Amino acid sequence: ALRPLPLGAATITAGFWRDRQDVNRKATIPAAGERLEEAGTLRNLRRAAGREPAADGFTGRLFADSDVYKWLEAVAWEQSCEPSEDLAERQAATSALVAAAQEPDGYLNTYVRLASPGGRFTDLEKGHELYCAGHLLQAAVAQYRATGDGTLLTVATRFADLLAAHFGPGRVEGVDGHPLIEMALVELYRATGTQSYLELAQYFVEARGHGLLVPPGHHGPAYFQDHLPVREVRILAGHAVRALYLASGATDVAVETGDTELLDALRSTWQTMTESQTYLTGGAGSRWYGEAFGDPFELPPDTAYCETCAAIASVQWSWRLLLATGDTKYADQVERTLYNAVVSGVSLTGGEFFYVNTLKVRDGAYADDQRSAVAGRQPWYGTACCPPNVMRTLASLDQLVATSDQDGLQLHLYAPATVSADLHGEPVGLTVTTRYPWHGKVSIIVTESPGSPWTLSLRLPAWAEGCTVTVNGSEEPIGQVGRSLPLHRRWQQGDEVILELPVRARRTLPDDRVDSVRGCVAIERGPLVYCFEQLDQPEAVVLDRTAVVAGELVESDQPGLLGGVTTVAVPGRLPDGSATTLTAIPYYAWANRSVGPMTVWIDAR
């Protein structure tokens, strides 16, 4: 098993992700503070804390507290990257407000406090109380780890103690309709060592699928992730975010309790999801209705839901399975999902968000819902789960760059970075230089090394057929890609490893069972999925009636376009048979100029 590096041990120093992190820090997070105020979300806390009249009631959706917690988590992680007075002030003030809103016995939920007094734990199906609690716990652990500030941790442990005393075998039997608490409790257990948190997480995982929840409306038990015991699930169904948060929590429980049967079940389910229930972008959740997974191979690009939160949850799950197994296929999926389905969820300026990450918009499309991509990115949402989820993900991205195990270090995400770690008590350091994902050369220089041999492992992505690796200029044998390449030797300061990834535009064919894209291709380049946006095409092109044909894919670096992208020109054919040239841009960057027809998959017959 792999271990995360200590916080701060890996730092992304430049490039694609650092640019996004800078925008997140400077624009997105501060603006979100204002949105949380405008939406009444912070006011709910002030009313619950008695700083404003509680009788004025609650504003927003009943899970609104969670938006504050996710934002606080982002604020915390940002400070592990770089301290900031502004962030520290926001953290202190808001954490104090959260603490003040906590009830004397440790319970905390402003909706129940203000709008449903006496309603504690009476609507586990829809109430989201444990979901909100889970985000509180995660924010508290982040704050404690990132800044040493224990304000939220105290709030979190008091609430977790109440939950542990309330729920469980011989106490109240119940689970929350929206999973999340499971992984949050394991994280709190890791931060505090309190065994009852792990036991409660284990209970919540095992108690599902036994009918404790009573579906209140049209949706069946899968929507609430209560249709099967977790260890019997092999194909995900129901609400995608719920399914993936639960899978992440169950993975945590399996790892902490050494439950290999549960871990094997989860790995099998992940495999099925990745092969048949995940879009090329890494997006998960085919259905608007119930925000749900579709049946295997039900992956329509136009009606894809692909909620930003589901992509983030998928990254969390894949990351946990990577740590548990060391298998690079999980890291490949983390990378694919981050570069496409996650970062598509926020605009280049950082001020607007997608809730739904569709893979296709037609001519004449109509938006009858704020979440529709056709409505364009929005500054905030009535259900505002996605924006702060993107914020905490970007703010904590450094943590996904590398891991360690007893033999050495593993690099997972290729970005300009510094990595330092401790191998059996001795320091090791790396500097990574690259223009990835735009160009394939990754240089890794050893800046510090123990005298004894250790292993530097490089992920060779499954798409990277033909990559090469040199160590101090001599080529290493590669063999298969889609695996980890372990370089074991007595490393010296100044040693240089160069990984050359074949970052070139390529055509990707779909599985024939995905009927909605049969006969189509997509363009990919390195980890990036591309798309055709109407405004880049010649005037005569109607995307739904245009095909791509064989011929060279011509790449152009466009430093002035969309923050700097490489575009791909693709030979095409109009309905009348005449030739044309289509232009593809990275999918994540679409809808930053205007919103119109767009497609990832295009006819290739």
The residue ranges that bind a second copy (CB under 8 A) are 218-223, 227, 235, 237-238, 286-290, 292, 294-298, 300-303, 360, 362-371, 382, 512-513, 515-520, 544-545, 575, 601, 603, 605
Q: What is the biggest distance separating any 2 CA atoms in the chain, rounded to whole angstroms?
A: 74
Give the dihedral of Cα atoms 373, 379, 381, 382; nearest 10 deg.
-130
Q: How far is CA 216 from CA 111, 124, 179, 288, 310, in A?
A: 20, 11, 17, 19, 23
Q: Which of 73, 129, 291, 533 is catalytic?
A: 291
The CA-CA-CA angle for residues 123, 126, 132, to 5°, reads 95
CB of 534 to a second copy, least distance (A): 14
CB atoms within 10 A of CB 507: 13
CA dist 554 and 269 (Å) reads 38
Q: Which of 81, 132, 309, 385 is catalytic?
A: 385
CB of 570 to a second copy, least distance (A): 18
Residue (121 or 297) nearer to a second copy, CB: 297
Residue (51 or 518) nearer to a second copy, CB: 518
Question: Residue type for 241, please?
Answer: V
Catalytic residue at 307?
Answer: no
Residues 302 and 360 sit within 8 Å (Cβ to Cβ): yes
CB of 176 to a second copy, least distance (A): 18
Residue (337 or 546) nearer to a second copy, CB: 546
Q: How far is CA 296 from CA 248, 271, 402, 465, 507, in A?
A: 20, 12, 32, 27, 23
CA dist 290 and 307 (Å) reads 12
The CA-CA-CA angle for residues 80, 85, 90, to 5°, reads 85
Residue (29 or 361) nearer to a second copy, CB: 361
Residue (535 or 542) nearer to a second copy, CB: 542
Residue (237 or 346) nearer to a second copy, CB: 237
Q: What b/e string do you get for 187-213 counting C-beta neighbours within 10 Å, with b at 16 or more?
A: bbbebbebeebbbbbbbbbbbbbeebb
Catalytic residue at 291?
Answer: yes
CB of 418 to a second copy, least distance (A): 45
Q: What is the DSSP letter of 407?
A: T
CB of 562 to a second copy, least distance (A): 26
CA dist 198 and 136 (Å) reads 16
Q: Any bridge partners for residue 554, and if so which?
A: 569
CB of 518 to a second copy, least distance (A): 5
Reported as type and span, the H/E element at residue 442 is: strand 441-448
Residue (284 or 331) nearer to a second copy, CB: 284
Residue (121 or 288) nearer to a second copy, CB: 288
CB of 226 to a second copy, least distance (A): 11
CB of 300 to a second copy, least distance (A): 5
Phi-psi region of 158 (alpha: psi -120 to 50; beta: other; left: phi over 0): alpha
Catalytic residues: 291, 385
